Structure 1
Amino acid sequence: MAASSLLFPWPVRVGPYAFTALAEPPARFARPRWLSETDYNHQIIRVRAGLSPEKTLLNFWLRVVRAMHYSAGLDDGCPEESFTHAYAAGLIAFIRANPEVWVWFNRQVEAQLSPGAKYARYAAGKPDVQRIAPPRRLLVGKSVYQLETMPLELSARLKCWGDCNLSTRVMRLSAELYGTQLAVIFWHELVHAMHREDGLDDGHSRARFARCQAERTIEFMVNNPQAWRWFLCLTAQAENDSRVHQRLRRAA
């Protein structure tokens, strides 16, 4: 039987777990036909050995997303909003808990899918990277969304930090947001758009939500390099990162 090999030397911390990420042959899987699986009892993430770098990356991230959902107590039948915020809050918590793994993940996306994008440098919070203005438009699947500021008065009246109109494809974030909270709410609204692209809503399975989030995240990274670097600036540093222009464009 072929030997196992580490994907990287650091633990993968999600919720209460500290997983070891391994590339292993199918014979070592509980379900040999699967390309990846999670062993919560032994805290192991398995990705099938011999996959292409792109499939290895996707299957690793799929397992991370599924662990976020599991740690949040989500299962089939939970509402779409729960899967949305579990991923938004879970992603920021993952970045904080796994700085080395986060840089590795961004480096792999850059190397395999976005050469020259400098994602790893931004993820690592290197001091010499340039300031990033917030994006005005976001490509999510085949749809283009406009990103705008929600005035404070409207945010207070609606009692929300932001919203995403899936019909007009306008995403609004409260003008008072910054740092970690801006990153969480931005990702929350973006995930709603990801779900819309795949036709997901209340009643769909945990497996479908996880696959959508994993695939659409990597796709978003590839298709929106400026927006992704801006997001990395938000998440890589202290809560008020001076490299990020935090004010968004006001609605006309």
Structure 2
Amino acid sequence: MNDPQWTTGPVLSGRGLVKRYGGQYALAGVDLDVRAGDAIAIVGPSGSGKTSLLHVLAGILRADSGEIHLAGRRIDQLGEKKRSELRRTEFGFVFQSGMLVAELTAEENVALPSLLAGRGRRESVRAGREWLARLGLGGKEGRRPGELSGGEAQRVAIARALTHRPKVIFADEPTGALDSRTGQETMNALLGAARESGAAVLVVTHDRELAESMPQTVAIRDGLIAARPAHGGLAA
């Protein structure tokens, strides 16, 4: 479980976030607070700015203006090396395709972020095996991505995102390549595992059913928050 200090205020906070591509605003002044344990779906039409918001908050992209704080520490002004370190240690990522390394086994894929963060191989692999077991993949640690179903591969990606106990998990269309039943099972696995670890979850999705199943939603349109976080269903 994360340190209790993370529960006293927003674990991640964005203020006045602006991002332009050419003359177009992807983000036009977005404010968003994320608390430890939150599970928020970010919804909106294509081109609304939801993926840009995810990438800016995660430090993958730099905002043109605005501030981002991680547990009270400003992080948007950090250099690329420090932001990359944050992405390895404080954040976890689950993408639509899983983005697993085809040549590595499931347990090696899961251990990879910990290894890159400088942890020992034995410790990293042990933690990876534990998360794979929690996600119902015990006995499949030695299989490569091509030997797994789509849902199994996404659960490997979830285990990889969680093994270093991140503060926030960013998921970009994590069920987009799955059928509806497998997608819901995968989301249940992600939310359950995140809840167990105390991590917050931000999910970008086009899937209305998935969004409606999330505890909170944020609707974004034309680079602006069109509806504030709401509990128990899709915000209007």
TM-score by length of 1: 0.23
For the pair shown, the structure with the greater C-alpha radius of gyration is 1
The structure with higher relative contact order (CA 8 Å, sep 6+) is 2
- The structure with the greater share of residues assigned to helix is 1
